[in-house]
Amino acid sequence: SPMRYKRLGTAGLKVSQFGFGSWVTFGRQVDTGLAKEQMAAAFEAGVNFFDNAEVYSDGQSETIMGRAIRDLGWKRHEYVISTKLFWGIHEGVVNMKNTLNRKYLMQAIDASLERLGLDFVDLLYCHRPDPETPIEETVYAMSDIVASGKALYWGTSEWSAEEIRAAWEIADKRNLRKPVVEQPQYNLIHRARVEVEYARLYEDLGIGLTTWSPLASGILTGKYVDGIPEGSRASLSGYGFITKQASDAALIEKVRAFVAIAREAETSPAKLALAWTASNPKVSSVILGASSVAQLEENLGALEVLDRLTPELCARIEGVFA
């Protein structure tokens, strides 16, 4: 099945319905050589959207992705790339951590572009909301970054519906560039924000979605049903919340039932979970994560499952996690 390209909400930009991101992997499990192989495989399959963030491996993820793109010789018009700002990478420096203030945003975008080796990113996200900066200050700064050409579009990640609407309305009232996209977690285990909390935003504001952790960090592949395999994400230090989820007996029982349904449907749990996420019409792009080329190739196979995902099958798997 060929890749489809969907508009980012009502914006004109089109992104592949599966994108590829670098959280946890680039700089920790994936070096520049493997990153290049993965990105080449994704691109070959029609992926045009590559997701990154300043904070991923403290900037190394941007450096690796930028170098991979240069080594692969991709032309700037052939791909869409994002980064995200909020956490900062300057430990202990006032104004540079956990913020969306103007000073941080203006300096952080320049440093990200330098690491990526690019003149602009296509999408720039506010990685989290910042309760200590007025939304208006952030909207002005993001709008100025877009006006300067350092980003083509801007959006938010894990902002509340109320915060997204406030930002959009400030931009509307002040004739500034509006946020066009939100990046929330969305998978069979985490549905409420996308399906309930944001329900009115899609039509009212024209917001598109690029969604993260479609496999709940790998849990939906079924890889944790018999414990935590060596080298898996839940085995890594620094991801205690994932280790906890991966060993949650009640959740693992549901995953077991889900794995059985996937087998019955003659596919893999990973592909079924990914196809389910991509089938939501509000989702512009499902961002894939992978620590190997084989995982990425399996996951891109979700395209075939999308074609045969029936409402009955969806209802069954939703029932398991309800």
Residue 267 contacts ligand NDP per CB under 6 A: no
Residue 217 contacts ligand NDP per CB under 6 A: yes
**Of the candidates 143, 218, 265, 276, which one interacts with ligand NDP according to CB under 6 A?**
218
Interacting residues of 86 by C-beta distance below 8 A, sequence separation 6+: 55, 98, 99, 100, 126, 127, 128, 130
Alpha carbons 172 and 167: distance in angstroms, whole number: 9
Alpha carbons 10 and 315: distance in angstroms, whole number: 28
Alpha carbons 178 and 153: distance in angstroms, whole number: 8
Alpha carbons 99 and 82: distance in angstroms, whole number: 19
Residue 295 contacts ligand NDP per CB under 6 A: yes
Nearer to ligand NDP, 98 or 148 (CB): 98
**Of the candidates 51, 54, 163, 182, which one interacts with ligand NDP according to CB under 6 A?**
51
Nearer to ligand NDP, 87 or 172 (CB): 87
Structure tokens at 186: 């969305």
Residue 208 contacts ligand NDP per CB under 6 A: no
Residue 55 contacts ligand NDP per CB under 6 A: no
Amino acid in the structure at residue 43: F
Residue 282 contacts ligand NDP per CB under 6 A: no
Of residues 52, 136, 150, 167, the one with CA closest to residue 106: 150
Interacting residues of 92 by C-beta distance below 8 A, sequence separation 6+: none
Amino acid in the structure at residue 18: F
Nearer to ligand NDP, 83 or 143 (CB): 83
To the nearest whole angstrom, how small is the minimum distance from the Cβ of residue 224 to ligand NDP?
A: 9
56 catalytic? Reply is yes
Q: What is the size of the binding site for ligand NDP (CB under 6 A)?
A: 31
Nearer to ligand NDP, 82 or 143 (CB): 82
Nearer to ligand NDP, 174 or 246 (CB): 246
Interacting residues of 6 by C-beta distance below 8 A, sequence separation 6+: 14, 15, 17, 208, 283, 284, 285
* Piece in contact with ligand NDP (CB under 6 A), picked from 1-9, 195-203, 206-214, 309-317: 206-214
Active-site hit among 5, 56, 79, 202: 56
- Site residues for ligand NDP per CB under 6 A: 21-25, 29, 51, 127, 157-158, 183, 212-218, 221, 223, 232-233, 270, 287-291, 295, 298-299
